[in-house]
């Protein structure tokens, strides 16, 4: 292996990427690729808002209530 390059493997997609020290240096003067920011439509915003309500509101509260109930049961069992 050449001393100028570091190799890292990504287990998520199985891709092997080679990074040079210039790649790791944020002050290097290489051209930057334009960002691929998605453009959301009104339907996408509504879908995100709906999922946000159900996951952050309803599901998270149900898990919290289940956790409190489990802690109460544990407290009763451990106090005996």
Q: Is the pLDDT of residue 66 over 80?
A: yes
pTM: 0.47
pLDDT in tens, 14-61: 444 555 555 556 665 655 566 778 788 999 999 999 999 999 999 999
Quick one: which of 16, 27, 15, 13 has its CA closest to 5?
A: 16
Residue 53's pLDDT is what? 93
Residue 13's pLDDT is what? 45
Q: Is the pLDDT of residue 8 over 50?
A: no
Quick one: which of 2, 40, 34 has its CA closest to 21?
A: 2
């Amino acid at each position: 292996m050449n001393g100028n390059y570091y190799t890292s493997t990504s287990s998520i997609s199985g891709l092997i990427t080679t990074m040079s020290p210039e790649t790791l240096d944020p002050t290097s003067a290489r051209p930057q690729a334009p960002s691929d920011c998605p453009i959301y439509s009104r339907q996408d915003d509504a879908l995100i808002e709906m999922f946000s309500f159900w996951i952050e509101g309803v599901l998270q509260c149900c898990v919290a209530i289940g956790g409190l109930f489990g802690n109460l049961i544990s407290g009763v069992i451990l106090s005996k």
